[in-house]
Amino acid sequence: MGVKQVKKFAAPDDAAKLILRNAIDKYALSARGYHRLLKVARTIADLNGEKTISQRHVLEALQYRREQEM
């Protein structure tokens, strides 16, 4: 998925956006890291049969980041 597809298919809800903003600041996420996180969160939401990425999907995606990246 490219950036355009991420914007179209991996749009988070408002609560998830807040978590993402905090993660960007706390973990100094690059644009690439941000998009990778959204892709993982989108996959988690898909596996749960949900159309929208919620904060729990983003939090779970954050847990999968390697220790070196944090």
pLDDT in tens, 14-62: 999 999 999 999 989 999 999 999 999 999 999 999 999 999 999 999 9
Q: Which domains does the chain possess? A: 3-69 (1.10.8.60)
* CA-atom Rg of the chain in angstroms: 11
How much is the pTM? 0.85
- Degrees, nearest 5: CA angle 31-13-9: 60
Residue 6 pLDDT grade (very low, low, confident, very high; cuts 50, 70, 90)? confident
- What is the per-residue pLDDT for 69? 58
Which residues, in sequence order, are CB contacts of 56 under 8 Å at separation 6+?
A: none
Distance of CA 59 to the CA centre of its chain: 8
